[in-house]
Amino acid sequence: MKRYILSISVLVFVLSSCRYETHRLNDFAVHGVDVSHYQSTVHWDSVAHQSFHFAFVKATEGESYVDSLFGNNWPEIRRVGMKRGAYHFFRPTLSAETQFANFVRNVELLPGDLPPVLDVEVIDEATKVELITRVRTWLYLTEIRYNIKPILYSNQKFYNRYLAGHFDDYPVWIARYSSRKPELAYKRPWHFWQYGNKGKIAGVDGFVDFNVFGGSLLELEQMCWMPDKVTAEDKRTAALLVTEQK
């Protein structure tokens, strides 16, 4: 009976926590949001005036999908002076090369943008080996194209179960909806932390995800992409890869 009562108490706590509004973690210096078409039209001037420094935005998914509001969000984030990053939602059963081509066709990086992001949080019907192999391929092709290491996004549980130990040389952005910082396997440090999905701010109708960067504004700047790092050979290789996928 005690065990039954405890289980109900835990369930009630979890359900209640999911309904709570996410409040900003003021002990961090660098704050951000991430959005997709689910947030509808975002008024980025309002967001920027609330001390948000960066924003990640969904660009593509799978082999052909493009987020319907990416074309609006991408230039607007830059216009208001926030750092911007674009992410691709990865489908493990599909070709990594074709998914890479989808991202490159639709995302134009400019100097000062954050590295491309690969969102890996579903296994679909792939095996773990297939998942790891295809994720590695997407990251590798993207690194060749831009001569910068992409950021790998996942939630804490998925990362620890499927990805830990395989991509330690890539920056990570981890979702853990809690006041407790992410705890990754092998004591892997994190770079970005998505700590809640119930944020409320002016400029966004409904809820928005809240994020922090683990370093300073200068360190965030140092992570950003600069085109002079990309060699002519990198550009030729990437162009050939994209052409082959068309």
Instruction: Please list the active-site residues.
Output: 34, 121
Residue 52's nearest CA partner among 70, 25, 72, 71 is: 25
> Would you give the DSSP letter of residue 214?
S
Q: Are strands 192-199 and 117-119 parallel, antiparallel or unpaired?
A: unpaired
What whole-number distance in Å separates Cα of residue 109 and Cα of residue 115? Answer: 9
> Would you give the DSSP letter of residue 162?
I
Residue 43's nearest CA partner among 206, 213, 211 is: 206
Residue 121's nearest CA partner among 227, 197, 214 is: 197
Task: Please check whether residue 158 is in contact with residue 126, taking contact to mean a CB–CB distance below 8 angstroms.
Answer: no
Task: Please check whether residue 88 is in contact with residue 61, taking contact to mean a CB–CB distance below 8 angstroms.
Answer: yes
Task: Please check whether residue 20 is in contact with residue 41, taking contact to mean a CB–CB distance below 8 angstroms.
Answer: no
Structure-block tokens of residue 39: 């947030």
Give, in degrees to the nearest 5, the angle at Cα 155 between 138 and 116. 35
